[in-house]
Chains A and B, each alone.
Chain A
Amino acid sequence: MNIHYEMTNPDHNPVKSGLPEILSRLWRFAMVLSHNEETAGDLVQATCLRALQKCEQFQAGTHLDRWTFSIMASLWKNELRAERIRRGGGFVDAEEVLVTDGAEKIETNILLAEVLAEVQALPEAQRSTVLLVYVEGLTYAEAAETLEVPIGTIMSRLAAARLKLAALKRAEDGGSKRQVKTGQ
């Protein structure tokens, strides 16, 4: 396990050179976590800064995206989320932002926008797990490492998310008009 980094030549800093490519995915994860565009932007920037500060710890050849997701999840969990919850009412409500945005901008596919809305209406722990496993394609083990939880937790979050989404689908198939609600 060789750790390659060169502080003397910034061009050889794989963190610095790799970040631009994953910015949009970082932002997407930040949106899933925060539900707020402005907060997401700041979370991405804070994550980039922290990643640059810790770049010596990054092992060249490993996945920069996962490593950076992990930094973001940790920043969110430890620094930002509590503050947001404490602030409470000051924030745009979880269901609104993305749902509206998504629906507007993906007019071409209402169904996909609905998927986005359904996922965004899940509790935070579930939707971040869903994003990492089902969207980003991480294995359970990788997602567990990224979110710093046991694999069993990843599994139970996914099961809970699927049950919730299945209930939505069946309610819809049952004919009644669907209402997306948060699980908790």
Chain B
Amino acid sequence: MTSELNDQTVTDETLVAYLDGELPPGERSSVESALESDEELRERLALLDDGARPWKDAFAGLLEQAPMEKLEADLAAAIQQQAEQAPTSGSADLPPIIKVPANDHGNRRWWRPAMAACVAVTLLVGFAAGYGTNEAQNPEVVAAVGTEAEAWRQAVADYQALYTRETLSVALTDPVVQSAGLQRVSKSLGLTLPDSVSEVGGLDYKRAQILKFGSQPLAQLAYLYKDEVPVAFCIVRLDETDRAASNEVRSGLNIVHWSKGGYSLMLVGDLPVEELNDFARELEGRV
């Protein structure tokens, strides 16, 4: 066996394995004797040795950069989600890794002032009006901002009106990124959003993010309609009584809104109300 090992059989791979201590003893001594008699091979070995680096030290630096707080929070979310999703069955079928979009740092800052303004309006108008009843809104050009739910819808509409096609063009749409995002949003919201919410025919799903309304986490799922019109599906827990879907217009955008199980939901965008309602019906069945 040893004798077979001449210059031609000592490849770079073998030399690297030799340097890495990965060769079995027999092969190792064969390489060593080949090296003794072959200057070219020794040069080759020296070249490959020049490709060595202080690997561990160099990469220790990267370890120190790990965003531990975020990673730990994400892990906690994953553990929680797993606890909720996977009962005691030992099923071999893995739940799909849900699609979730990347969060959008750029837009978030817009939200808070808009929110604050709306909450202020809510308080003022709310106190003045003594809080209206929860009757369905009539579609009208200027909808009221009397209740907390109305203030919420107004805030979302104001925010949505700032969106353009370009706002959503930077969203990362790969499945794993989207998956992690949806899970984060589900976790924050306390409501599982199945990945089917990202698969509404006619709407191109972009991303999900968590915003805040008052102290409540607000989920915003962003879509593009006809590759042109931004559409948002938003959910917040306002503990409204269950309400069937109805339409209204705010900030020049069509809205369909309903509530279920304490959550208030709305779909908003600058598109024909009939189509908006079709999309809403699909989403309503999935959440």
- Is B51's CB under 8 angstroms from A164's CB? yes
A7, A42, A52: which has the most chain B beta carbons within 10 Å? A42
Measured between alpha carbons, how far is A110 from B38 in the docked complex, in Å? 37
Closest to B90 in A: A56
- Contacting residues, chain B, for A87 (C-beta < 8 A): 172-174
Per-position 1/0 for A102-132, Cβ under 8 A of B:
1001100101110110110000000000110
Q: Is the interface of B mostly helix, strand, loop or mixed?
A: helix
- Is B82's CB under 8 angstroms from A165's CB? no
Say yes or no: is B12 at the interface (Cβ < 8 Å to chain A): yes
- Is B79's CB under 8 angstroms from A155's CB? no
Say yes or no: is B285 at the interface (Cβ < 8 Å to chain A): no
Q: Which of B47, B55, B71, B81 meets A115, CB within 8 Å? A: B55
Per-position 1/0 for B151-195, Cβ under 8 A of A:
000000000000000000010111111011101100000000000
Q: Within A122-151, which residues are at the interface with B (CB < 8 Å)?
A: 130-131, 133-135, 137, 139-140
Q: Which of A28, A101, A159, A161 meets B63, CB within 8 Å? A: A28
Query: Shortest CB–CB separation between residue A5 and chain B, in angstroms?
Result: 9
Q: Within B74-106, which residues are at the interface with A (CB < 8 Å)?
A: 74-75, 77-79, 81-83, 86, 88, 90, 94-95, 97, 100, 102
B65, B72, B170: which has the most chain A beta carbons within 10 Å? B65
How extensive is the interface on chain B, given as a class? 35 or more
How extensive is the interface on chain A, given as a class? 35 or more
- Contacting residues, chain A, for B179 (C-beta < 8 A): 42, 46
Measured between alpha carbons, how far is A106 from B173 in the docked complex, in Å? 32
Say yes or no: is B53 at the interface (Cβ < 8 Å to chain A): yes
- Contacting residues, chain B, for A52 (C-beta < 8 A): 78-79, 82, 86
- Is A139's CB under 8 angstroms from B74's CB? no
Interface residues, chain A, with chain B CB atoms under 8 Å away: 7-8, 10, 16, 19-20, 23-28, 31-32, 37-39, 41-46, 48-50, 52-54, 56, 75, 79-80, 83-84, 87, 90, 98, 101-102, 105-106, 109, 111-113, 115-116, 118-119, 130-131, 133-135, 137, 139-140, 152, 155-156, 158-159, 161-166, 169-170
The 7 tightest CB contacts between A and B, nearest first, are A162-B51, A83-B174, A115-B58, A42-B180, A166-B51, A24-B66, A166-B50
